[in-house]
Structure 1
Amino acid sequence: MGIDAEVVDNAKLFKKYPFISGRAAYIFSAIVTIFTYKYRRIQLIIDDKEITLENTLTTFANGKYYGGGMKVAPDADLQDGLFDICTVDKLSRIKMFTLFPKLIKGTHRQIEEVCFYKAKKIIVSSKDEITVNIDGEIVKRKDVVFELIPKGINFIIPRS
């Protein structure tokens, strides 16, 4: 949630033009969103730890990658039963331009405003609506709860 979700949301506007490809729409959207982004103060309860930040970006991931190959959670393990959480506190507009290449490579830990956590349950609250991207679906909410449910999805795998 935060700037990355707003880039996805704003890209819809650029995709309406027939001469702008999907990839170009995201690039244009990223540039425009960096200059128009409004920080939202959010409160996170990560298991029992409370954190408040001026959100640039906050991600709850089960896997290492999202968004077409950005390595936002470099230490994530699909089998550990925990979300890997990456928070990015308020960044200057200039520093935002350095964030995305580092997210792609998974080297954003070097940025001072970046923190990592692990948890089973996260509660997010804000006075203002925040843009949240849930596996490609954009929602705008003031309060959101994320919780991992062990063995929550059953798979049927045919015998070979």
Structure 2
Amino acid sequence: MTRSFTFLVNPASGGGAAPGAVVPVARLLREAGATVDVTYSPGPHAMHDLVAAAVDRGDVVVSVGGDGMLSSLAGLVSVRGGTLGILPAGRGNDFARMLGLPDSAEAQARLLLEVPARAIDLLAVTGLGPERRLVAGSVYAGVDARAAQIVDRATWLPRSLQYPYAALRSLATYQPGRYRVAVDGIEHEYAAATVVVANSAYYGSGMQIAPPAAVEDGVLDVVVIEAAGRLALMRSLPKVYDGGHVALPEVTLLSGKRVEVRGTGRAPISVGADGEPLGQLPAFGAPEPAVVEVVPGAISVLC
């Protein structure tokens, strides 16, 4: 039976690359006999309705854009019990990198038509807003959330330089915070630059922040980079691309199924997930922490 597809496209992704990426793949799918519907730039409410309608008629919902688009769609598709396809067309494409997705239109179309779905874990985030949110790749608090904010304003740079520039800029101005991190009920306290709770090994356009992470193991990998001098952090930045930073004495790795985080600094500590802001980390005196839990096998993905 030939699959049918609903492509949801963020035309701003990748500096406007997404619309061009979808055209050859959609053409190849149609030539193979598949039904393909393409919708550009739906708003949040429309996105919910489009996903619900697509899943109800048996379509694969295909995310065309970056990690933020993918992550938001993953939650909606998971709740409806549907299947997600991914056409990476953003600046980072880190979850696609984690899944080993191909780059060429021919290989992408063949994957969408032929590859069986895999059950992939997601992250459930609470305590950062009124609603539970599902996230695909990682949740992070501290200097990397600040870097994500800088990336959004660095469109004047070539795409390959945006993330390195944002990382260096955020490190140059960062102030460490104090974090309380409880993993499966065991609490730790750190003076740190960042805390990352990862499902995927990659973030920040290819940085291998959590080398042990796997998307099908039912486990969260927690990376704490403790406070160090700005210059030392800048010098260690290249190590993050190949995962070599985990051997540094200021890096701690933890793992578990439920992570609770609070943090206090000179200013409120920003939190992000898959390139999108989530708000501010609850401070030490807050009644409830931010909570990240693994949801094993939460979504079926063509990969």
Q: TM-score, normalised by structure 2?
A: 0.47
Instruction: Write the distance in 1 (CA, Å) between the matches of 2:160 and 2:178.
Output: 30
Aligned to 1:152: 298
RMSD: 1.9
Aligned to 1:10: 150
Structure 1 residue ranges without an equivalent (≥5): none
How far has the Cα of 1:156 moved from its partner? 7.7
**1:39-77 CA distance string (max 9 Å, x none):** 111111111211111221211111222222111111122
Aligned to 1:91: 228
Q: TM-score, normalised by structure 1?
A: 0.84
**1:3-22 CA distance string (max 9 Å, x none):** 1221111222332x4xx333
If you compute each CA radius of gyration, which structure gives the higher value, 1 or 2? Answer: 2
Distance 1:9 1:156, change over 3 A: closer
Distance 1:94 1:67, change over 3 A: same
Instruction: Write the distance in 2 (CA, Å) between the matches of 1:26 and 1:79.
Output: 27
1:80 aligns with 2:217: yes
Counting matched residue pairs gives 153
1:100-119 alignment, distance < 5 Å: 100-119=237-256
Instruction: Write the distance in 2 (CA, Å) between the matches of 1:73 and 1:25.
Output: 21
How far has the Cα of 1:2 moved from its partner? 1.5
Structure 2 residue ranges without an equivalent (≥5): 1-140, 283-289
Letter paired with 2:237: F
Aligned to 1:24: 161
Is residue 224–residue 251 contact of structure 2 (8 Å, CA) maintained in 1?
yes
- Partner of 1:43, secondary structure, is strand
Instruction: Write the distance in 1 (CA, Å) between the matches of 2:298 and 2:193.
Output: 30
Distance 1:127 1:110, change over 3 A: closer
Q: Which has the higher helix share?
A: 2
Runs of 4+ that moved beyond 4 A? none
Of 272, 278, 281, which aligns to 1:139? 278
Aligned to 2:269: 130
- Partner of 2:277, secondary structure, is strand
Distance 1:26 1:72, change over 3 A: closer
Instruction: Write the distance in 2 (CA, Å) between the matches of 1:73 and 1:27.
Output: 18
Identity over aligned pairs, percent: 27
